[in-house]
A and B are shown apart, each in its own frame.
Chain A
């Protein structure tokens, strides 16, 4: 670990990524699907000379800009901000592997911004052909930016042959690329329709216009739902074995998968029986229910997508605790504290007596007073475990997970966490350091809950 670890009390730093990522994807998919909606429907409205529909689309374009160009764009930057803070090594790796993927995406961002503003602000001033063309430029640029970022995020789950070749294209066209492009494209269609329904349900008073909007957006939404399912199947098929095992093993993920399935069925049924068969159902209440269910399905999907990567951030490349997988044997030989720039500096400043010939003498660490060993163990916990576990209280708090454990159980967990749970990173330090961590964990592990009766004597 070559960067300082950011301790976020109660939660933990990587959870901030999950929060911001979910907040972002709920809008970023609309930025893609909504762009396509505006391009297709504006062309249709011009072709059919439907002025009222054009007026509605103009209103929707303003709503679209306010949501996507401001909130969508800034939360997108926000993800980048957060990954650099919470997962600096993974970000460093991704940036080195894909900087030109991001640079290409940037070109399309600029096209999106310029075309979106011209599309809205020059509505009625550009001729229909030019106006529609600019709408299509936006839609095309937005979808390509989706494809570009999907190549990079899918890489994190399964880098494929990049692991051997380190070739940009091998990483970009990874086994997860096509399935995720399918599901994200489908998700864009689906979410865009849900945003359109929500907006139209509140803004459009004319029932004939509302029916038209409901009917026009139903097919893309249903197509989107089908693409999401197809992409989801592909996603599952091409998952690495560890991710499939995580899906089967973690009860939270079981629940999430069931939730995703139930919500997808519900959204599909509501779309089919609602806007597709009965456009008149589009009322504010119906639109809100559909919207909330859609967002819930999406959020659960994003959570699962992030969670199945454990213990990796980038599969077989970067572990969750900011260690390169290839570094583990070196760290076990040289010491986790010695190899981490910031930890070594802290030890040197705090315990100069443990330094010998400019290096940390691990044996001396175990000669320190107990409270100092616990202090060092706490630092090892921060750098090695806090990416997933809060210490005493909070998200997946280690102390509560170890409630009632014996010393030996704690020691085993410190030494070989990956054997206890395959979705935990391996211990990447020396046995002495593992012992320091054990001391700390013992100090925070609460006793078995009192009053539990197992048939023995009271």
Chain B
């Protein structure tokens, strides 16, 4: 059977905006989402390990990150809405079938996320009370949260790899079906792309955690001791190195071991070859910044580190999007959807988007003013 036969027709309502517009916001949203997401995905487990075996400075870093974690999770969840929203507009013909095939697992993300989020709060609340506050229950809650976030990452990798693995759909549907319907108990574990991407993304998340350790020490942790800040510079470099090596290892598996020939042919040829190379080597730039600035953790250096890591994540998001479209290309051309432009809602959305950024900036400036205000007396 031709897997394309499983794809339903285009929506008669048409795409509400041109593909480039939707995909721009999808990628922008994904980049915004992946920053906090990386900090839960790799950061929580690292923070717990470092607290356990990382000495005094390690405990400070761990505590700082975990105190920020409730906000990071909230931001990550909200930023994740945008890419998912635009995925459902442009990729609905493959997104819904893939998630329905693994419905129970996909739905379990909600439960796991709720429990993990409360686990983070339980631990962060304990941190307020110092070492005595971190009771075995609170520590267990954090470990459970860390594991759940990794499982959630696995389930996301499942959904998004299954979305392009149309060839695997009929067998999964038959295997987990009942009377032609599906039970929603399939996983894409037979597809090596899943494993390679999941592990590669963990490496990328480690690099973001490393970069964030530096940014935190340089920007938010300026009231910490010089000794800690210096330690944080070195620690960030170590974590980044580990993440970059991990990313290179599993990224190689992903690219050379799972990409189909037509994907390789396009991504290794000009002009996209440049993007592929830049995506692969870009963590080196952040690594160099971290190495160069490791002994002078400053606001300016933190800005460079943040900016270069943002470039790394953006390059990854753009490359991933192109690869996803190439993988789907033989079944479906997502860019060919007829457009029935919703101009006035788009304009209002853009105006509100700018307004929203303005209000957020105003609020953040008020916070910065408080943070930088000299202590009374």
Q: Which residues of A contact B (CB under 8 A)?
A: 2-8, 13, 16, 20, 66, 69-71, 73-75, 77-78, 80-82, 84-85, 88, 91-93, 95-97, 99-104, 106-111, 113-115, 117-118, 121-122, 125-126, 130, 134, 137, 166, 168-169, 324, 326, 341-349, 375, 378-379, 381-383, 386
Contacts and interface: CB of A to CB of B under 8 A. Distances in A.
Contacts of B356: 107-108, 110-111
A367 to B, nearest CB: 19
A96 B121 contact: no
B88 interface: yes
Interface string B215-227: 0000000000000
Can you list the 8 inter-chain pairs with the closest CB atoms, starting with the nearest? A2-B8, A379-B180, A100-B345, A7-B181, A382-B181, A107-B356, A96-B13, A88-B96
B85 A81 contact: no
Contacts of A168: 16, 342, 344-345
A6 B184 contact: yes
Contacts of B177: 346
B109 A7 contact: no
B277 interface: no
B310 interface: no
B268 interface: no
B359 A111 contact: yes
A77 B100 contact: no
A118 B363 CA distance: 8
Chain B interface size, as a band, is 35 or more
Main secondary structure of the interface of B (DSSP, over half): helix
29 contacts: A3-B97, A4-B97, A7-B178, A7-B182, A70-B118, A81-B106, A85-B184, A92-B92, A93-B13, A95-B85, A95-B89, A96-B11, A96-B14, A96-B89, A97-B13, A101-B345, A104-B352, A106-B82, A107-B355, A107-B356, A108-B352, A110-B79, A113-B75, A114-B363, A118-B367, A166-B340, A345-B1, A345-B170, A346-B180
B374 to A, nearest CB: 13
Contacts of A85: 96, 99-100, 103, 106-107, 184
A8 B184 CA distance: 8
Given A85-B107, A130-B366, A382-B181, A3 B5 contact: no
Nearest to B343: A168
Nearest to B29: A106
Interface of B: 1, 5-9, 11-17, 25, 70-71, 74-75, 77-82, 84-86, 88-89, 92-93, 95-97, 99-101, 103, 106-107, 109-110, 113-114, 117-118, 121, 170, 173-174, 177-184, 340, 342, 344-346, 348-349, 352-353, 355-356, 359-360, 363-364, 366-367, 370
B240 to A, nearest CB: 28
Contact of A6 (B15, B93, B100): B100
A342 B173 contact: yes
B299 to A, nearest CB: 21
Given A2-B7, A348-B1, 16 more contacts: A3-B8, A7-B178, A81-B110, A99-B17, A100-B348, A100-B349, A103-B82, A111-B360, A113-B74, A114-B363, A126-B366, A130-B366, A169-B344, A345-B173, A349-B1, A382-B180
A92 B78 contact: no
A116 B340 CA distance: 37
Contacts of A2: 7-9, 93
B336 to A, nearest CB: 15
Contacts of B9: 2
B180 A383 contact: yes
A97 B12 CA distance: 11
Main secondary structure of the interface of A (DSSP, over half): helix
Contact of B71 (A16, A73, A117, A166): A117
A375 B346 contact: no
A14 to B, nearest CB: 13
A122 B370 CA distance: 9
B342 to A, nearest CB: 5
A166 B25 CA distance: 24
A122 B363 CA distance: 11
A195 B356 CA distance: 29
A99 B26 CA distance: 12
A82 to B, nearest CB: 7
A183 to B, nearest CB: 25
B179 A378 contact: yes
A73 B16 contact: no
A77 B367 contact: no
Max count, chain B CB within 10 A of own CB: residue among A8, A70, A75, A378: A70
Contacts of A3: 8, 96-97, 100
A382 B179 contact: yes
A305 B245 CA distance: 54
B68 to A, nearest CB: 10
A33 to B, nearest CB: 20
Nearest to A96: B13
B88 A84 contact: yes
Contact of A77 (B16, B86, B110, B359): B110
A223 to B, nearest CB: 28
B342 A100 contact: yes
Contact of A96 (B15, B82, B181): B15
B360 to A, nearest CB: 5
A168 B14 CA distance: 13
A60 B5 CA distance: 55
Contacts of B344: 168-169
A386 B117 contact: no
